[in-house]
Chains A and B, each alone.
Chain A
């Protein structure tokens, strides 16, 4: 990951140098540093809200801690990471070439679809997992890809359809296996891809710089919270089809 793509006009930026810069006190890298901190705040906030909900709202649901809690904790982390990556993407307001827009749409749509599909597929079955994840991740993919026009939009749409159905399918196939371990690993790997996507932006466009105004942690946490609550309510109270996790 040390070479720039062909045709890029920005200077070479290695992953190690980027990490070193982000965690230094260099003011040029403050937006990236803040985005990481805000994402962390969102994760902690969502986990606290989940804890409160599990002690009150979900306390009457039998086996909630064994069946739903690990999956909902993962969904809290996923919502925060997807939101954080989305805000990083929003912070760049430069016109982008088609190849970058396609990469944005594809990576965002596919990773969001995989994660949402796998989670809903586990708790609500393959039908509902596929439907919800396909729709949600297609919207995310199109939103991310539209920065460069129709190619990015189509790429985002395709990734959403593919990721949504594949995620749900994988969960259903692994129902007889230790599914939460797989989902934790899947979350980790998808997070790596989203972080790599953020790194790609830095390589392609350069750092955000001191003039960039990023959203407040409240705004980012609010967006993550909306996703998280909708996802949680659907996973727990939504319709179910076929075999689901925790039978």
Chain B
């Protein structure tokens, strides 16, 4: 018996043994697969609807409608004050390709747009926060003005370009 045949036989035996075990203890199998009983895996839950799960706040919110044009987010910048509750609604039909993922990187907010009509969060931290898709496209910004009235530094407050680069918005995928 050759090496590859031996390895394949071992793997096949392992799979068969596992299959037999899974028939008798199905719960273990489901847990190993990282699958929740409702049918969504852990990863899916994270992206399924963060707006509803993490950021829903009662009370007044500042609402913005975000669209994608020529590989860029519009409005290019969203400016709010520290402490504001912010709601960003997606114009879902304009989010295509890799742009279906939306991130505010430094705030840890991420969404899969086809499943998520909006995200909500409280702007606790002042500063300029980049937004983009999983591949870094979109190139938007959320500016949170400090509550103490100080202005952001020039680098943070400088305007974003209104046109995409020669390769989409600069991610290298040409999308």
* Contact of A242 with B23 in the complex, beta carbons under 8 Å: no
Min CB distance B174 to A, Å, is 10
| Residue B11 lies at the interface, judged by CB distance under 8 Å to chain A | yes
**Residues in B whose Cβ lies below 8 Å from that of A125:** 43
B171 to chain A, nearest CB (A): 9
Q: Is the CB of A243 within 8 A of B100?
A: yes
Complex: A125 Cα to B46 Cα, angstroms: 13
Chain B contact-residue range equals 35 or more
Shortest A154–chain B CB gap in Å is 21
Q: Tell whether A57 pairs with B44 under 8 Å between CB atoms, given A176-B100, A226-B4, A237-B34.
A: no
Are A226 and B11 closer than 8 Å at their CB atoms? yes
Interface segment out of the listed A2-10, A20-28, A143-151, A217-225 = A217-225
Residues of B within 8 A of A226 (CB): 4, 7-8, 11
List the B residue with the shortest CB-CB distance to A233: B15
DSSP majority for the B interface? helix
Give CA–CA (A126, B140) in the complex, Å: 22
B61 at the interface (CB under 8 A from A): no
Known: A173-B175, A240-B41, A247-B112. A60 touches B26 (CB 8 A): yes
User: A236: CB under 8 A from chain B?
Assistant: yes
CA distance A240 to B35 in the complex (A): 12
Contact A236 B48 (CB under 8 A): no
Chain A contacts to B: CB under 8 angstroms: 49, 52-53, 56-63, 125-126, 169, 172-176, 218-219, 221-223, 225-226, 229-230, 236-237, 240-244, 246-247
